[in-house]
Amino acid sequence: MKKIVSLMLTAFIAVQCLTAQVPEGIKYMNYARYKSARDAFQKAYNANPKDAQTIYWLGQSILATDGATPATPQQLQEAKALYQKGLQETGSDPWLLVGMGQIELMEGGDLNSAKQKFEQAITASTATSGKTKGKPNPAILAAIGRANASLPSGKGDNVYAIDKLKQAAVLDPANADIYINLGINYLKMGGENGGEAVKAFQEALARDPKNAFAYYRIGKIYQSQNNKELFEQNFNSAIGVDPAFPQVYNALFDYYASRDVNKAKEYLDKYIANADKSPENDVYLAEYLFRAQKNQESLAKLKEVEAAAGGSKNLPAINLLYAYNYDRLGDSVQAKANLEKYFANPASKIRPEDYELAVTVFSKFPGSETTAISYLEKAMANDTSKVNRIAYQGQIATLYGKAKMYPQQLDAIQKQIALKGNGAPMSEFDYYTLTSTAFNAKLYPQTIDYAKAYIKAFPDKTQPFRFYKLAAIASDPDSTSGTGVDYLNTLDSIYLTMDKEKYKVDVFRNQNYIMGVYLKKMSTLNKNSDFKVKSDGTRTPVVDEYIATAQKVVALTEAMMALYPDPADENNKYAQNVKADMQKRIDYYSKPPARKSGGTSAGAGTAGKGK
């Protein structure tokens, strides 16, 4: 009898221990201690391999990542095989149906097909008797919410998940994890839902005041908004309720790594002390050494980690840190080679500053700018942050400029300005880059349009006037089309409308340029073989055009003298001289001298040339 009781007691204690291992594993999951979580779930699974809830959580630990990168194909296949085996042995259990629905979404499968599995799980878990008759199991609803929360943005149905989580919260109002996943689903829907996410995490804290994970998630939201006071407040609260929570130390290390290397080292030491032991921690140590300007030590550590890990394939951060170290040491070839490996690895966790490094490094290799641009375009496609997308587009524009691909640069600048949106006024820098890039692209009419808008927005700046004039002149390089003259006349009208006295020097110079265009035209006409005039005043059309052009010059000189009315002024004298010369030409060809006996008509042949 005593033996039977002893065996029963032993079995009871074993069940209690196994029951405790699942919640312990879930806690490890929230603490990003995935190895510890898997060990805990594996023990529970080994003791009872047909318990569906244990199978579900073991699969979740297999699929777990830091959230910045998707699960690898190997992770997906291992978890899928586990769930399929469970379905074969236990039947269509709701936990396993949710797990398979999640796998389907993570593999890029059909959303509706996955949701059918979720709905099937809800139906199968709905109570058929008792006080909860007709009500689904809130734990299954929560698992559906968790499945969508674990996916990259845009892969699941966050609205659907939020609806299921709200139902779960009504049925199980004390469960803080429901609100954690509710908040994460809000975040997956975009930055404008950050307020709703904070509310959800605060609801989690109302149910579990010592929930370090909730404080951490609130802190991360404020960190993304560069609100140092509030993110540090929440990070410190997370540490206060649980000093063993590792993720907050990692976040603080990452924040201070580029700001205060000594403070960063303190947080790194605390993170390593509380996180699972892993090669990644040695990579963090190599990053600290880089931040501390100890590049050779950092490189030595990276080589040590790479050798122990059997290469950098599973630890792409090794290549990234190699690139940072080599760039600082002036070895651009090695920096470029390691960046190429890093960006080619689908497991890489690429940050905005990493793209900045790519821009710096690839810019040193003419012809490589388009490669860096392709990286930036991928970054934009995977980043929902408006601020980051604007920055990426600006980097793309910079790279196109360095490659002297000006039309593409102009397009990138236009896209960057459009991203700012919301009716935000363009800055002077925006106007300048648009106008200067259009000019570099030799899009002269577009340059002038931008210059006009630039003048209107910033009339006190000299740059838009300069670009207008340069584009006007460049639009008619051989001074034959007349477009440059038309543009400069329009520019002068702008000057005179704004402030005649202030801009009279600019107007005078523009008119002098136009005068040069007319004089060049007169010289061309004068050399034309059809330039003929008789003593009776009969002229060819070419001569008429010559006279008409000279009259335009006279009108210009009169306008120029009006700007400087003092006859003693050098500018006035210059205009007077030109006017006098033009008037002589007009008079000569309008009323040529009488023809001499036996001679040719005045102005015909070479006699009238050169005037």
* Structure confidence by residue, pLDDT tens digits, 42-70: 999 999 999 999 999 999 999 988 665 67
Tokens of 607: 């006699």
Instruction: Write the DSSP symbol of residue 193.
Output: G
Tokens of 223: 């960190």
Contacts of 354 (CB under 8 A, 6+ apart): 320, 342
pLDDT number for residue 18: 44
Q: Does residue 274 sit in helix, strand or coil?
A: helix
246, pLDDT greater than 50: yes
Alpha helix segments (H runs only) across 345-477: 352-362, 369-381, 386-402, 406-420, 428-440, 444-457, 463-474
Sign of the Cα torsion 28, 32, 33, 38 reads positive
d(CA 592, CA 587): 8
pLDDT number for residue 178: 95
Q: Residue 596: pLDDT band by 50, 70, 90 thresholds? A: low
263, pLDDT greater than 50: yes
pLDDT number for residue 67: 62
Sign of the Cα torsion 53, 58, 60, 66 reads positive
Lookup result for tokens 């030491």: 269
In the chain, % of residues over pLDDT 90: 60
pLDDT number for residue 55: 94
Q: What is the pLDDT of residues 127-153, one digit of tens each?
A: 888 888 989 999 999 999 999 998 887
Q: For residue 142, which of 156, 163, 112 has the smallest C-alpha distance? A: 163
pLDDT number for residue 395: 86
583, pLDDT greater than 60: yes
Q: What is the pLDDT of residues 507-541, one digit of tens each?
A: 999 999 999 999 999 999 999 999 998 877 789 99
d(CA 445, CA 476): 11
Contacts of 46 (CB under 8 A, 6+ apart): none
Rounded to the nearest angstrom, the gap between the alpha carbon of residue 447 and the centroid of all alpha carbons in its chain is: 26
Contact 146, 140 (CB under 8 A): no
Phi, psi (rounded to 5 degrees) for 106: -65, -25
More confidently predicted of 422 and 560: 560
261, pLDDT greater than 60: yes
pLDDT number for residue 595: 56
Return the bridge partners of 539, or none: 533
pLDDT number for residue 20: 61
Phi, psi (rounded to 5 degrees) for 190: 120, 160
pLDDT number for residue 594: 63
12, pLDDT greater than 60: no
Q: Per-residue pLDDT averaged across 493-511, rounded? A: 91
Q: Per-residue pLDDT averaged across 366-371, rounded? A: 84
CA distances from residue 297 to 263, 277, 290, 305 in whole angstroms, order as listed: 19, 21, 8, 12
Return the ∠ at Cα 93 (arms to 83 and 142), rounded to 5°: 90
Q: Per-residue pLDDT averaged across 157-167, rounded? A: 94
Q: Residue 19: pLDDT band by 50, 70, 90 thresholds? A: low
Q: Does residue 539 sit in helix, strand or coil?
A: strand
- CB burial of 333-372 (b: ≥16 within 10 Å; e: otherwise) equals ebbbbbbbbbbebebbebebebbebbbebbbeeeebbebb
Tokens of 339: 């960046």
pLDDT number for residue 350: 79
609, pLDDT greater than 70: no
Tokens of 424: 């935000």
Q: What is the pLDDT of residues 597-608, one digit of tens each?
A: 444 444 433 334
Q: Per-residue pLDDT averaged across 548-555, rounded? A: 94
pLDDT number for residue 606: 31
Min mean pLDDT across 369-373, 450-454, 462-466, 467-471 is at 369-373
Contact 239, 248 (CB under 8 A): yes
d(CA 504, CA 496): 8
Residue 600 Ramachandran class (φ > 0 left, ψ -120 to 50 alpha, else beta): beta
Contact 363, 402 (CB under 8 A): yes
1, pLDDT greater than 50: no
Q: What is the pLDDT of residues 314-336, one digit of tens each?
A: 789 999 999 999 999 999 999 99
Determine the residue type at 486: D
pLDDT number for residue 202: 96
Contact 219, 248 (CB under 8 A): yes
Q: What is the pLDDT of residues 182-224, one digit of tens each?
A: 999 999 887 688 899 999 999 999 999 999 999 999 999 999 8
Query: What pTM value is reported for the model?
Result: 0.63
Q: Does residue 560 sit in helix, strand or coil?
A: helix
pLDDT number for residue 599: 40
11, pLDDT greater than 50: no
Contact 514, 489 (CB under 8 A): yes
In the chain, % of residues over pLDDT 70: 92
